[in-house]
Amino acid sequence: MDLKNKTIIITGGTSGIGLQLVSQLYNQNKVIVIARPSIRLNDLSQQFAGVEVYPADLSKTHSYEMVSDQIIRKYNQIDLLINNAALQNTPTYLSDNFDYDKIVLEINVNFTAVCCLSYLLLSAMLNNEQKATILNINSGLALAPKTDSAIYAATKAAMNVFSQALSYQLEKTDIRIFQAFLPLVETPMTRGRGKAKIDSKTAATAILNGLRKDLKVNDIGKVKVLRLLLSIFPWFARKIMKRA
C-alpha cells in the first residue's frame, strides 16, 4: 500500500502507538483521529497541521453511529481505517481491586468498536476507486493469553477471528483486512508493567512497513517467536505466556 495522499482514520491517536502513527502519516496524508474527549485531543490538532479530530468515547456504544456519520458526511471516500484504540485492565477476578463495571467498557473499546466502526464506515471504503484497507492492531496475547488481563486477551483473540471472517465476507470487494500483532510496547497503557518492551515509535514504524508490504498478517518483534513456538511446542509457549 502506498501511504501517500490517503484519507486515513485512526482510533486512539492521542498517545502511545496511535500518536506515533499520526506523526508518521500526517505529512503526506489526510489523517482523521477518533479518540476520547480530552485536552490531548485538542493538543493533537495543534501539534500536527491538518489532522482532524473527532471526540468519541468508544467505551460507549452510542458514540459509534454519531462519529461515523460526522466523518462520512465530510469524507465519502476512506482509504484506510486503523482500529488502534485499546484498554487493558490487569486485576484478576480474585483481586480486591477488580472492577466489575469495567468489563463491558474494555470489551467495547477493544472489540465492539472495531466491529461497529468497520461496518459503519464500510460504505465510504466501498466508494474508493482503489483498494481500501482495514488494519486491526492486535497483540501476541490473541495467540496465547497471560494470567492477568483476561478480558484484554479475549478481545484480542476475538479480533483475530473477526478479522479473518470479515476478510472472507469482503474477498470479492476491493477492501482488504490486515492485522498487526504486537509484543509488549512501551505506552501509557503498559507503564510500570513488563520488561524488554519495544518503544511506540518502533512499533508504529513496523506497523506501517507491514502496510507498505501488503502483509495481511504482520507479526512484530517477539510475536514471530511466539507463533513459531506455538507451532512446534505449544505447551511450552503457553507456559511462558501464562507467566508473562
- CATH 3.40.50.720, domain 7-242, yes or no: yes
Domain chopping of the chain, boundaries: 7-242
Got the DSSP string for 15-36? SHHHHHHHHHHTTTSEEEEEE-
| Structure-block grid coordinates of residue 58 | 468508544
> pLDDT, tens digit, for every residue of 162-189?
999 999 999 999 999 999 999 999 877 6
Query: Can you give the pLDDT at residue 194?
Result: 63
Q: Give, as one character, the DSSP assignment of residue 188.
A: G
> pLDDT, tens digit, for every residue of 104-158?
999 999 999 999 999 999 999 998 778 999 999 999 999 999 999 999 999 999 9
d(CA 94, CA 91): 8
User: Under DSSP, is residue 90 helix (H, G, I), strand (E, B) or coil?
Assistant: coil
